Structure 1
Amino acid sequence: MKAKEIQDLIDFIAKSGLNKVNIETEEFKISVKRDPDQKVKYVKDSGAASAPAPVAAPQPLPAPAAAAPATPSAPAAPAANDESKYVAIKAPMIGTFYRSSTPESPSFVNVGDEVKQGQVICIIEAMKLFNEIESEVSGKIVKVLVDNASPVEYDQPLFLVDPS
């Protein structure tokens, strides 16, 4: 399935009012789900266009998925004790993670910054749509877990926040 076909599918779902669609073939598996109450601002090519649209989350076939979790779990185990009091803000979609709206702009948040629930903390680009990601919790940014302009997966931790 080409990117244009996926975008057309997402546009169709947004217009139809459907909240969830699953498509599975021999070559791929795609699940598109949106929360009708979710407030996500979409900006296309740095313009000011806002449109509620679903989030596409292509899922890998079972073979690659089994190999991926094995690598991150080993280094995360020793650090889990130190970071257990922190809340992880996770990626709500797959795409490319950006800490600022443009390369020249300062980062939305840095380590040590206080954030409030609903504050924009980063952008994730998915299929030429720039999605502002808002903080789910209030607190202090303790750690940025992803490098700028890096690809991220659905539910991947992006930031650690100390809610106290």
Structure 2
Amino acid sequence: MNFKEIKELIEILDQSSLTEINIEDKGNVVNLKKEKETEIITPQISQQPMQQFAPQQGVSQAPTPNNAGEDTSSVSIDDNLQTINAPMVGTFYKSPSPEESAYVQVGDSVTNESTVCILEAMKLFNEIQAEVTGEIVEILVEDGQMVEYGQPLFKVK
């Protein structure tokens, strides 16, 4: 078989519903196999609020008619502690890059404008601000962890 004949066989295989052709001609063996096409499916990510996590310390965080439209970036857990909550679904990063130090650590003071972390959503890196003033007393998520909308990220005193 010459190159032109092999090329014609490839075109026939490509245009047919066959997936494989095996031909023996004068001691030469030609085996042509068609690869399955893979369909690329992209997930659809919704920006709708996800189900709230179980209440901490017995205090309900479910919206009531009085606070249904309020911002969920901070919710009081008790008289002295507030939380900084995830404003979106995404991946939590404590620093701008793996080589750099964390935005905040336990014991650091934050103000309303302090950047506390990054949430990555659909390849977009969003800097998250504290929106509360106080001292970080606990970091509730690990670096690289997926977080849900409204999930507590930090406790602030």
From the CA coordinates, give the structure whose radius of gyration is larger: 2
8 Å contact from structure 1 (residues 116, 137) kept in 2: yes
**TM-score, length basis structure 2:** 0.56
**In structure 2, how many angstroms separate the alpha carbons of the residues matched to 1:78 and 1:91?**
21
Please list, as runs of the form range in 1=range in 2, the aligned pairs for 1:79-158 lying within 5 A after superposition: 84=78, 85-158=80-153
One-letter code aligned to 2:141: V
**TM-score, length basis structure 1:** 0.54
Gaps of 5+ in 2: 1-40, 61-76
- Residues 69-114 of structure 1 show CA distances to partners (whole Å, capped at 9, x for unaligned) of 4xx44xx33799xx62201000000000000010111000000000
Identity of aligned residues (%): 44
Using a 3 Å threshold, how does the CA distance of structure 1 residues 57 and 102 change in structure 2: closer, same or farther? farther
Report the Cα offset of residue 57 of structure 1: 3.6
One-letter code aligned to 2:116: I
Report the Cα offset of residue 118 of structure 1: 1.0
Provide the alpha-carbon RMSD of the alignment.
Answer: 2.6
One-letter code aligned to 1:143: E
Aligned length: 100
Gaps of 5+ in 1: 7-29, 31-55, 60-64
